[in-house]
Amino acid sequence: MTTMEWEHLPVPDLTGRTVVMTGASDGLGREAALQLALWGADLVLPVRTRSKGEVVAERITRETGRPGAVRLTHLDLADMASVREGAAGIERLVGPGGIDLLIHVAGLVTRHHEETIDGFERMLAVNALAPLLLTETLLPLVRERVVVVASDAHTFGSIDLGDPHFRRGGWSPGAAYGRSKLTTMLWGRELADRLHARGDGADLQLVHPGWVLTNLQNATGSARLDRLVTEVTRPIAMPARRGASSVLFTATQPLPPGSYIGPDGRGALRGRPTFLRRSATALDRDLAREVTAWAQSEVRSAPS
């Protein structure tokens, strides 16, 4: 637990608990998946690339000595039809026992303006719309908690429901990433309220992992420049194992519904998990309901 930097708390016992987690093929998701399995969780990992998922599953089996700890299913967050198929696959794998923890870690940064097969701006689709669709589809099966990896990048994001996919211009990696994360914060706020009203004990938590050395930052288009960015930021950024700490804390510790957790260091770049402030926009309940309704409409309109 010392690597988690919250050794003052008891080690979670997840024996017999079913955890569904996206983004486990790489980076902090991979490290979080291993730790959850070491704590006894049974993992269902939706992956886009089966071979990468199998590498993670083999590592978890080797380090936990639990051959049945991981089950894989295919899911591509850039394709809403695949998200629906992936959700059906998850339902088959978890069966009547349901899902204890649903954790969204997968994320994307692109260098250029791109649209998915559904016509959605790619970062908005992968970082916000697909997690919403997967959550809404699986929500009747969730018994305890939904954890969504957001970002302090939401503070420089803006919402424009008249042009959410930047078709009239204004796209930049920062603007699009910020919008995707603000959208995530807003639908997370709305769903937290909805789960609280449901009253069955399930909740939603948002988490900002901090600055973590993962493939997410390798978005310059140049392998040489990617290496330079990695080396320059290495003194600031956390390794993936440490970066997973806030996600694991948020997934396993008692928290008020709808909390926003992240590192306690300067700029929330690194440190121990703590409660973070979110922007005033991210706290706007009326906007949260409006954005959630829009996002639900968008994913419903995507071809099956």
**Residues labelled as active-site residues:** 177
> For the chain, give me the number of helices (H) and strands (E)?
9, 8
- Three-class SS of residue 104? strand
Q: Which residue has the tokens 């970066």?
A: 243
User: For residue 287, what are its two tokens?
Assistant: 């906007």
- Nearest CA to 86 out of 77, 98, 99 is that of 77
- Nearest CA to 238 out of 273, 206, 274, 269 is that of 269
Q: Which residue stretches of the chain are H helix? A: 27-38, 50-64, 80-94, 122-124, 130-138, 173-198, 223-233, 240-252, 285-301
Q: Which helix (H) or strand (E) holds 260?
A: strand 260-263
Q: Which helix (H) or strand (E) holds 21?
A: strand 18-22
User: For residue 62, what are its two tokens?
Assistant: 């080797």
Q: Which residue has the tokens 């629906």?
A: 84
User: For residue 290, what are its two tokens?
Assistant: 């409006």
- Three-class SS of residue 285? helix
Q: Which residues contact 119 (CB under 8 A, 6 or more apart)?
A: 165
**199-213 as b/e, with b when 16 or more CB fall inside 10 Å?**
eeebbbbbbbbbbbb
